[in-house]
Amino acid sequence: MKITSLTPNFEVSDIRKTVQFYQDILDFKLVMAVSATQDEIETSLLENKAYKFAIMQRDEVTFMFEVKDTYLGGMDSFKTKTIGASVSFYMQIDGIDDFYELIKSKKLKPSELKTMWYGMREFYIQDINGYVLGFAEKIE
C-alpha cells in the first residue's frame, strides 16, 4: 500500500465566505464547487447561488470545504462536533518573510514569525472558520 496524498476536508459554515478568504488572503484557486441543490458542479461561484462543497488548491496543497449537513452525512457519531478542530495544518513554503509581511498587510493577526530550534522559520494564522494554518520555511 502507498498513500499518495492527503486532502483535509474542513467543515465550514459558509462556502462562499471560505472560498473568498482562501482566494483573497492565501491565493488559493477554486477547483470546483457543488451547488446547494447538489445537481451542478461549477468552476466559479455564481452570484446569488448557495454552495455545499468546494475544492481549492495552491501549488501542491489541496483543501476541501463542506457545510455541516453534507460534511456529517451518515456519520451520526459526529453530529455534535463543532466547527474548528484541535489540529493545525502545517505547510512548508518558500519566501516566508515576504509571505509574513503580505499576511500582515491583509489585516490578519499572525503569530510572531519565529526561528525554531528544529531549523524552521514559521508563523500561524487562524482562518475565518477557526482552523489554524501554519506556514514554515526550512532555514539553510
Do residue 62 and residue 119 come from a single domain?
no
Domain count within the chain: 2
- CA–CA distances in Å: residue 3 to residues 6, 8, 59, 63, 136: 8, 14, 19, 17, 23
Q: CATH number, domain at 7? A: 3.10.180.10
Last residue of a domain, one of 74, 94, 119: 74
Q: Is residue 96 part of a domain?
A: yes
Domain range holding 63?
Answer: 1-74
Do residue 63 and residue 89 come from a single domain?
no
How confident is the prediction along the chain (140 residues), in pLDDT tens digits per residue? 888 888 999 989 999 999 999 999 999 999 999 998 888 899 999 988 999 999 999 999 999 999 977 765 655 555 555 555 567 899 999 999 999 999 999 988 999 999 999 999 999 999 999 899 999 999 98
* Helix (H) / strand (E) containing 80: none
pLDDT at position 85 is 56
pLDDT at position 88 is 84
pLDDT at position 94 is 95
Chain mean position to CA 22: 6
The answer to whether the Cα torsion of 75, 81, 84, 87 is positive or negative is negative
Do residue 49 and residue 115 come from a single domain?
no
pLDDT at position 121 is 97
pLDDT at position 120 is 95
pLDDT at position 82 is 59
C-alpha cell at 22: 482562501
Nearest to 113 by CA among 104, 58, 86, 140: 104
Q: Which residues contact 39 (CB under 8 A, 6 or more apart)?
A: none
pLDDT at position 72 is 59
Q: Which residues contact 71 (CB under 8 A, 6 or more apart)?
A: 9, 11
